[in-house]
Structure 1
Amino acid sequence: MTPSPAREGSANAGSSSGNLEEKPRLSEHEKKANHIASEQKRRQVIREGFDRLTELVPGLEGQGRSESVVLKKTVDYIRLQLEERRRLIAKIEELGGHVEDGMRRA
Protein backbone atom coordinates (compact mmCIF):
# COMPACT_ATOMS: atom_id res chain seq x y z
CA MET A 1 0.00 0.00 0.00
CA THR A 2 1.42 3.44 -0.94
CA PRO A 3 1.13 6.47 1.29
CA SER A 4 -1.40 9.07 0.31
CA PRO A 5 -0.01 12.17 -1.48
CA ALA A 6 -0.98 14.40 1.45
CA ARG A 7 0.95 12.30 3.98
CA GLU A 8 3.90 11.84 1.64
CA GLY A 9 4.18 15.60 1.03
CA SER A 10 3.97 16.52 4.70
CA ALA A 11 6.49 13.90 5.76
CA ASN A 12 9.07 15.14 3.28
CA ALA A 13 8.37 18.86 3.67
CA GLY A 14 10.05 19.17 7.08
CA SER A 15 13.32 17.49 6.22
CA SER A 16 15.51 17.18 3.17
CA SER A 17 17.55 14.34 4.73
CA GLY A 18 14.64 11.90 4.77
CA ASN A 19 14.19 12.05 8.55
CA LEU A 20 10.46 11.62 9.18
CA GLU A 21 10.50 13.16 12.66
CA GLU A 22 9.22 16.71 12.74
CA LYS A 23 10.89 19.33 14.90
CA PRO A 24 8.61 20.17 17.82
CA ARG A 25 7.01 23.58 17.65
CA LEU A 26 7.83 26.17 20.27
CA SER A 27 5.23 26.96 22.87
CA GLU A 28 3.97 30.51 23.18
CA HIS A 29 6.04 30.88 26.35
CA GLU A 30 9.21 29.72 24.52
CA LYS A 31 8.50 32.06 21.60
CA LYS A 32 8.07 34.98 24.00
CA ALA A 33 11.26 34.09 25.90
CA ASN A 34 13.22 33.87 22.62
CA HIS A 35 11.84 37.21 21.49
CA ILE A 36 12.73 38.87 24.80
CA ALA A 37 16.26 37.42 24.73
CA SER A 38 16.72 38.54 21.11
CA GLU A 39 15.54 42.07 21.92
CA GLN A 40 17.82 42.26 24.97
CA LYS A 41 20.78 41.17 22.83
CA ARG A 42 19.93 43.78 20.16
CA ARG A 43 19.71 46.54 22.77
CA GLN A 44 23.00 45.46 24.36
CA VAL A 45 24.77 45.67 20.98
CA ILE A 46 23.37 49.19 20.48
CA ARG A 47 24.51 50.25 23.98
CA GLU A 48 27.99 48.88 23.27
CA GLY A 49 28.09 50.86 20.01
CA PHE A 50 27.19 54.08 21.79
CA ASP A 51 29.75 53.34 24.50
CA ARG A 52 32.38 52.87 21.78
CA LEU A 53 31.44 56.20 20.21
CA THR A 54 31.89 57.95 23.56
CA GLU A 55 35.43 56.52 23.65
CA LEU A 56 36.27 57.66 20.10
CA VAL A 57 34.66 61.10 19.83
CA PRO A 58 36.40 63.89 21.73
CA GLY A 59 34.16 65.69 24.18
CA LEU A 60 31.95 62.70 24.94
CA GLU A 61 34.04 61.19 27.72
CA GLY A 62 32.19 61.11 31.01
CA GLN A 63 28.96 62.42 29.53
CA GLY A 64 25.57 60.95 30.28
CA ARG A 65 24.02 58.31 28.08
CA SER A 66 21.88 60.57 25.94
CA GLU A 67 21.95 58.79 22.61
CA SER A 68 20.76 61.88 20.75
CA VAL A 69 23.70 63.90 22.17
CA VAL A 70 26.15 61.11 21.25
CA LEU A 71 24.81 60.97 17.69
CA LYS A 72 24.81 64.76 17.21
CA LYS A 73 28.34 65.18 18.55
CA THR A 74 29.53 62.23 16.46
CA VAL A 75 28.10 63.78 13.28
CA ASP A 76 29.65 67.15 14.17
CA TYR A 77 33.03 65.49 14.80
CA ILE A 78 32.95 63.58 11.50
CA ARG A 79 32.07 66.79 9.62
CA LEU A 80 35.03 68.55 11.25
CA GLN A 81 37.33 65.68 10.30
CA LEU A 82 36.13 65.74 6.69
CA GLU A 83 36.68 69.50 6.49
CA GLU A 84 40.18 69.08 7.95
CA ARG A 85 40.90 66.41 5.34
CA ARG A 86 39.80 68.74 2.53
CA ARG A 87 41.96 71.51 4.01
CA LEU A 88 45.01 69.22 4.18
CA ILE A 89 44.52 68.03 0.61
CA ALA A 90 44.32 71.66 -0.57
CA LYS A 91 47.50 72.49 1.40
CA ILE A 92 49.38 69.53 -0.09
CA GLU A 93 48.40 70.61 -3.60
CA GLU A 94 49.21 74.25 -2.85
CA LEU A 95 52.73 73.13 -1.91
CA GLY A 96 53.07 71.20 -5.18
CA GLY A 97 52.22 67.75 -3.89
CA HIS A 98 49.91 65.26 -5.52
CA VAL A 99 47.01 63.47 -3.86
CA GLU A 100 45.74 60.37 -5.62
CA ASP A 101 42.07 60.34 -6.57
CA GLY A 102 41.45 57.34 -4.31
CA MET A 103 42.67 59.34 -1.33
CA ARG A 104 40.41 62.28 -2.13
CA ARG A 105 37.20 60.35 -1.59
CA ALA A 106 35.67 60.63 1.82
Structure 2
Amino acid sequence: MIENNHLRDVYDAIADPNRRRMIRLLAEAEEIPLHELTEQFQMARTAVSKHLTILKEAGLVLDRKVGRETRFRLNASPLIEIPNWVAFYSKFWGTHMFHLNQLLEEEDL
Protein backbone atom coordinates (compact mmCIF):
# COMPACT_ATOMS: atom_id res chain seq x y z
CA MET A 1 0.00 0.00 0.00
CA ILE A 2 0.98 3.63 -0.38
CA GLU A 3 2.59 5.28 2.61
CA ASN A 4 0.33 7.97 4.03
CA ASN A 5 2.04 10.80 5.91
CA HIS A 6 -1.11 12.86 6.28
CA LEU A 7 -2.77 13.86 9.54
CA ARG A 8 -6.07 12.23 8.62
CA ASP A 9 -7.04 8.95 7.00
CA VAL A 10 -8.38 9.27 3.44
CA TYR A 11 -11.31 6.97 4.29
CA ASP A 12 -12.30 9.24 7.17
CA ALA A 13 -12.06 12.24 4.87
CA ILE A 14 -14.38 10.78 2.23
CA ALA A 15 -16.85 9.33 4.74
CA ASP A 16 -19.00 12.46 4.71
CA PRO A 17 -21.28 13.07 1.68
CA ASN A 18 -20.57 16.82 1.78
CA ARG A 19 -16.83 16.20 1.51
CA ARG A 20 -17.36 13.74 -1.34
CA ARG A 21 -19.38 16.43 -3.11
CA MET A 22 -16.58 18.96 -2.50
CA ILE A 23 -14.10 16.52 -4.03
CA ARG A 24 -16.33 16.15 -7.08
CA LEU A 25 -16.69 19.92 -7.48
CA LEU A 26 -12.94 20.40 -7.14
CA ALA A 27 -12.32 17.60 -9.65
CA GLU A 28 -14.52 19.38 -12.19
CA ALA A 29 -12.70 22.72 -11.80
CA GLU A 30 -9.05 23.62 -11.82
CA GLU A 31 -9.42 25.79 -8.75
CA ILE A 32 -12.36 27.16 -6.74
CA PRO A 33 -12.38 30.18 -4.41
CA LEU A 34 -13.86 29.55 -0.96
CA HIS A 35 -16.85 31.85 -1.56
CA GLU A 36 -17.80 29.97 -4.75
CA LEU A 37 -17.48 26.64 -3.03
CA THR A 38 -19.60 27.85 -0.13
CA GLU A 39 -22.38 28.86 -2.55
CA GLN A 40 -22.73 25.20 -3.57
CA PHE A 41 -23.76 24.10 -0.06
CA GLN A 42 -26.55 24.94 2.33
CA MET A 43 -24.23 25.45 5.25
CA ALA A 44 -22.28 28.29 6.76
CA ARG A 45 -18.87 29.28 5.45
CA THR A 46 -17.28 28.05 8.69
CA ALA A 47 -18.80 24.59 8.17
CA VAL A 48 -17.45 24.47 4.61
CA SER A 49 -14.06 25.54 5.94
CA LYS A 50 -14.11 22.76 8.53
CA HIS A 51 -14.83 20.18 5.83
CA LEU A 52 -12.03 21.61 3.70
CA THR A 53 -9.65 21.37 6.66
CA ILE A 54 -10.44 17.66 7.00
CA LEU A 55 -9.80 17.17 3.27
CA LYS A 56 -6.54 19.13 3.56
CA GLU A 57 -5.41 17.00 6.51
CA ALA A 58 -5.93 13.91 4.34
CA GLY A 59 -3.88 15.50 1.57
CA LEU A 60 -6.86 15.64 -0.79
CA VAL A 61 -7.10 19.42 -1.05
CA LEU A 62 -4.46 22.07 -1.59
CA ASP A 63 -5.02 25.77 -1.06
CA ARG A 64 -3.33 29.02 -1.97
CA LYS A 65 -3.91 32.64 -1.14
CA VAL A 66 -4.59 35.10 -3.93
CA GLY A 67 -4.86 38.47 -2.24
CA ARG A 68 -7.53 38.12 0.44
CA GLU A 69 -9.08 35.11 -1.28
CA THR A 70 -8.28 31.45 -0.65
CA ARG A 71 -8.52 29.11 -3.61
CA PHE A 72 -8.76 25.35 -3.38
CA ARG A 73 -7.84 22.55 -5.76
CA LEU A 74 -7.99 18.80 -5.66
CA ASN A 75 -4.97 16.59 -5.06
CA ALA A 76 -6.42 13.24 -6.13
CA SER A 77 -3.29 11.13 -5.57
CA PRO A 78 -4.28 9.94 -2.05
CA LEU A 79 -7.49 8.50 -3.55
CA ILE A 80 -5.45 5.72 -5.23
CA GLU A 81 -5.51 3.99 -1.86
CA ILE A 82 -9.23 3.28 -2.27
CA PRO A 83 -9.21 1.18 -5.46
CA ASN A 84 -6.14 -0.65 -4.13
CA TRP A 85 -8.05 -1.55 -0.96
CA VAL A 86 -11.15 -2.57 -2.93
CA ALA A 87 -9.06 -4.68 -5.34
CA PHE A 88 -7.44 -6.56 -2.46
CA TYR A 89 -10.79 -7.47 -0.92
CA SER A 90 -12.35 -8.20 -4.28
CA LYS A 91 -9.64 -10.78 -4.88
CA PHE A 92 -10.00 -12.06 -1.30
CA TRP A 93 -13.74 -12.62 -1.64
CA GLY A 94 -13.42 -13.95 -5.18
CA THR A 95 -11.02 -16.64 -3.99
CA HIS A 96 -13.20 -17.56 -1.02
CA MET A 97 -16.34 -17.73 -3.13
CA PHE A 98 -14.52 -19.94 -5.66
CA HIS A 99 -13.53 -22.36 -2.89
CA LEU A 100 -17.04 -22.31 -1.43
CA ASN A 101 -18.49 -23.06 -4.86
CA GLN A 102 -16.07 -26.00 -5.27
CA LEU A 103 -17.07 -27.35 -1.86
CA LEU A 104 -20.78 -27.08 -2.69
CA GLU A 105 -20.27 -28.82 -6.04
CA GLU A 106 -18.39 -31.65 -4.31
CA GLU A 107 -21.27 -32.12 -1.88
CA ASP A 108 -23.76 -32.36 -4.77
CA LEU A 109 -21.85 -35.31 -6.27
TM-score, reference length from structure 1: 0.31
TM-score, reference length from structure 2: 0.30
Higher relative contact order (CA 8 A, sep 6+): 2
* Structure with greater Cα Rg: 1
The structure with the greater share of residues assigned to strand is 2
